[in-house]
């Protein structure tokens, strides 16, 4: 049977663009890609990249304070959101153009419109045309989830935060995961009065000792954190948003950001009609090769709700192209994927938590918590945490959790050793780099807890 394309990719985000580019440029496949919004997807346009630039912007007032403590006559002055946003928009335009060029250079045909699946080998574009493909890759990512309650239409999500006309004076952030905690720190650093509500403890699922330290330091930096809060309604009163909670409490804010998780983009995609199996949360169910139950349809990235991180989506997309078009069977290994939460202080994490170690047994926990030299000299109360979880049997380092400035950079390096199966003794045999914070990772001699 003759098809219009060897591969049709739906979604021009992290996973989709990588798969399309590799299939076309490395393996000479005839490829098309449809993107309904902007090329580059969540990470580039409204996720990791603009978020990290906001993290940088928000950390500068603290740098000025520290500079003064080191003898500089430094002042940060006031923050010009419009100037920052204008520069940010230009940077995102530049990056989007690079992603688009990457596709055209590879020979990928790009359709700037929505596409849905209309058969095992067929997609339908928003303009009504249909195209056939030997393989279809669904890489449509996810979107913010906001629970339904009276006034839920008055809140914004991470999709809108980068587009705000002005910075609010008072913001309520609802949620306690990656996005809520990162934006609480960012906006606090930019001078916004931040209140954060969550229905449970913040950063649930991460190592408890590490997250407790982060939450304490977030509160010490001025974020007004309330857990076990349930919002029942939000009403507009003039320019104010009046937030009512289950216990009757009422608060006023200029803006409310909901960061209560994300859902896979599968609604209205025609997947059920094509017979593709979806999971409980609407995610596309795939095997380790990212193949669905319909052999010609594959899915990668957040739409599969495996590990929802950019580097994971990219690797899944690349492995798909290698397997299907390069005759080089490859799949993403989802074990020991490190990640960072860009809070202030930053959090780097890889492997099992102490709570998981306790359940598993046969584990040793090494912890070092201290005031880092740099901020201690400046008179700040910041603390750093370095933690290793070690298997009592094999001696392998099974978990590492770092709360410290640049913890994301540190965990990237440690993850290499962990992926190689390094033992605690091999960490210890590595000579320290002095004076650094990370040297603690190779100098912790005695476990503080055994399980």
Ligand X SMILES: Cc1cc2nc3c(=O)[nH]c(=O)nc-3n(C[C@H](O)[C@H](O)[C@H](O)COP(=O)(O)OP(=O)(O)OC[C@H]3O[C@@H](n4cnc5c(N)ncnc54)[C@H](O)[C@@H]3O)c2cc1C
Ligand Y SMILES: NC(=O)c1ccc[n+]([C@@H]2O[C@H](COP(=O)([O-])OP(=O)(O)OC[C@H]3O[C@@H](n4cnc5c(N)ncnc54)[C@H](O)[C@@H]3O)[C@@H](O)[C@H]2O)c1
Taking CB under 6 A as the rule, does residue 13 contact ligand Y?
A: no
DSSP track, 118-177: EETTEEEETTS-EEEEEEEEE---EEE-----TTGGG-B-HHHHTT-SS--SEEEEE--S
* Number of residues located near ligand X, criterion CB under 6 A: 35
Cβ distance to ligand Y smaller for residue 199 or 395? 199
Alpha-carbon span 221 to 69, nearest angstrom: 17
Annotated binding residue at 431?
A: no
Q: How far is the CB of 143 from ligand X (least distance, A)?
A: 8
Classify residue 329 as exposed, middle or buried by CB count within 10 Å of its CB (0-12, 13-18, 19+).
exposed
Structure tokens at 47: 């996720």
Choice from 29, 95, 110, 140 touching ligand X (CB under 6 A)? 140
The answer to whether the Cα torsion of 55, 306, 33, 276 is positive or negative is negative
- Which has the closest alpha carbon to 157: 42, 41, 240, 304? 42
Taking CB under 6 A as the rule, does residue 345 contact ligand Y?
A: no
Coil, strand, or helix at residue 26?
helix
x/- contact string, 25-64, with ligand Y (CB under 6 A)? ----------------------------------------
x/- contact string, 286-325, with ligand Y (CB under 6 A)? ----------------------xx----------------
Alpha-carbon span 183 to 429, nearest angstrom: 39
Taking CB under 6 A as the rule, does residue 262 contact ligand Y?
A: yes
Cβ distance to ligand Y smaller for residue 135 or 306? 306
Cβ distance to ligand Y smaller for residue 217 or 308? 308
Taking CB under 6 A as the rule, does residue 340 contact ligand Y?
A: yes
Alpha-carbon span 426 to 433, nearest angstrom: 15
DSSP track, 39-64: TTHHHHHHSHHHHHHHHHHHHHHHHH
Chain position carrying tokens 């709570």 = 355
The C-alpha torsion from 145 through 154 and 214 to 48, rounded to 10°, is 60
User: What DSSP element (H or E) covers 252?
Assistant: strand 250-253
Choice from 33, 44, 259, 276 touching ligand Y (CB under 6 A)? 259
Choice from 9, 17, 23, 179 touching ligand Y (CB under 6 A)? 179
Cβ distance to ligand X smaller for residue 303 or 336? 303
Cβ distance to ligand X smaller for residue 179 or 418? 179
- Asked whether 135 and 296 are in contact (CB, 8 A), the reply is yes
Q: How far is the CB of 196 from ligand Y (least distance, A)?
A: 10
User: What DSSP element (H or E) covers 233?
Assistant: strand 231-237
User: What DSSP element (H or E) covers 314?
Assistant: helix 310-325
x/- contact string, 215-254, with ligand X (CB under 6 A)? ----------------------------------------
* Number of residues located near ligand Y, criterion CB under 6 A: 21
Cβ distance to ligand X smaller for residue 27 or 145? 145
Annotated binding residue at 40?
A: no
* Footprint of ligand Y on 187-216 (CB under 6 A): 198-200
> How far is CA 197 from each of CA 27, 169, 256, 342, 384, rounded to the nearest angstrom?
49, 17, 10, 19, 25
Taking CB under 6 A as the rule, does residue 151 contact ligand Y?
A: no
Chain position carrying tokens 């929505």 = 114
Contacting residues for 232 by C-beta, under 8 A, at least 6 apart: 149, 150, 244, 245, 246
Residues for the chain: how many in total? Answer: 451
| Residues acting as catalytic residues | 434
Cβ distance to ligand Y smaller for residue 200 or 235? 200
Taking CB under 6 A as the rule, does residue 411 contact ligand Y?
A: no
Annotated binding residue at 378?
A: no
- What value, to the nearest 5°, has the Cα angle with vertex 133 and ends 302 and 306? 15
x/- contact string, 268-287, with ligand X (CB under 6 A)? -x------------------
Annotated binding residue at 41?
A: no
Q: How far is the CB of 220 from ligand Y (least distance, A)?
A: 21
Annotated binding residue at 366?
A: no
x/- contact string, 61-80, with ligand Y (CB under 6 A)? --------------------
Taking CB under 6 A as the rule, does residue 175 contact ligand Y?
A: yes
Choice from 257, 313, 319, 411 touching ligand X (CB under 6 A)? 313
Residues in contact with ligand X by CB under 6 A are 10-16, 34-37, 41-43, 47-48, 51, 114-116, 139-141, 158, 179, 265, 269, 301-303, 308-311, 313
Residues in contact with ligand Y by CB under 6 A are 147, 175-180, 182, 198-200, 259-262, 308-309, 339-342
User: Binding site residues for NAD(+), as ranges?
Assistant: 175-182, 261
């Amino acid at each position: 049977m003759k098809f219009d394309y060897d591969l049709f990719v739906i979604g021009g985000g992290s996973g989709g663009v990588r798969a399309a580019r590799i299939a076309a440029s490395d393996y000479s496949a005839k490829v098309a890609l449809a993107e309904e919004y902007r090329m580059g997807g969540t990470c580039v346009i409204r996720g990791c990249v603009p978020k990290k630039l906001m993290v940088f912007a928000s950390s500068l007032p603290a740098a000025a304070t520290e500079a003064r403590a080191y003898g500089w006559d430094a002042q940060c002055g006031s923050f010009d959101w419009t100037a920052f946003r204008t520069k940010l928009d230009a940077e995102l335009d530049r990056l989007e153009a690079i992603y688009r060029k990457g596709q055209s250079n590879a020979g990928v045909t790009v359709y700037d419109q929505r596409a849905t699946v209309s058969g095992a080998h067929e997609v339908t574009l928003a303009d009504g045309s249909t195209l056939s493909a030997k393989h279809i890759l669904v890489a449509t990512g996810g979107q913010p989830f906001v629970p339904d309650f009276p006034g839920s239409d008055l809140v914004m999500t991470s999709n809108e935060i980068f587009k705000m006309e002005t910075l609010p004076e008072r913001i309520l952030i609802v949620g306690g995961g990656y996005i809520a905690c990162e934006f609480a720190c960012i906006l606090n650093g930019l001078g916004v009065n931040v209140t954060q509500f969550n229905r449970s403890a913040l950063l649930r699922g991460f190592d408890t000792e590490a997250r407790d330290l982060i939450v304490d330091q977030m509160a010490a930096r001025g974020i007004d954190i309330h857990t076990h809060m349930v919002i029942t309604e939000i009403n507009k009163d003039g320019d104010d948003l009046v937030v009512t909670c289950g216990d009757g409490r009422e608060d006023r804010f200029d803006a409310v950001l909901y960061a209560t998780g994300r859902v896979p983009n599968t609604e209205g995609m025609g997947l059920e009609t094509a017979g593709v199996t979806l999971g409980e949360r609407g995610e596309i169910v795939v095997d380790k090769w990212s193949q669905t139950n319909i052999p010609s349809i594959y899915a990668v990235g957040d739409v599969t709700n495996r590990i929802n991180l950019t580097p994971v989506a990219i690797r899944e997309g690349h492995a798909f192209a290698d397997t299907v078009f390069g005759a080089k069977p490859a799949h993403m290994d989802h074990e020991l994927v490190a990640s960072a939460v860009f809070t202030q202080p930053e959090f780097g994490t890889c492997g099992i938590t102490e709570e998981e170690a306790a359940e598993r047994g046969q584990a040793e926990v090494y912890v070092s918590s201290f005031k880092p030299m740099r901020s201690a000299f400046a008179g700040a109360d910041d603390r750093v945490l370095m933690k290793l979880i070690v298997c009592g049997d094999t001696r392998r380092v099974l978990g590492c959790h770092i709360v410290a400035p640049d913890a994301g950079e540190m965990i990237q390096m440690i993850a290499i050793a962990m992926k190689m199966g390094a033992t605690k003794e091999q960490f210890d045999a590595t000579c320290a780099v002095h004076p650094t914070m990370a040297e603690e990772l190779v100098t912790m001699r005695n476990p503080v807890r055994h399980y």
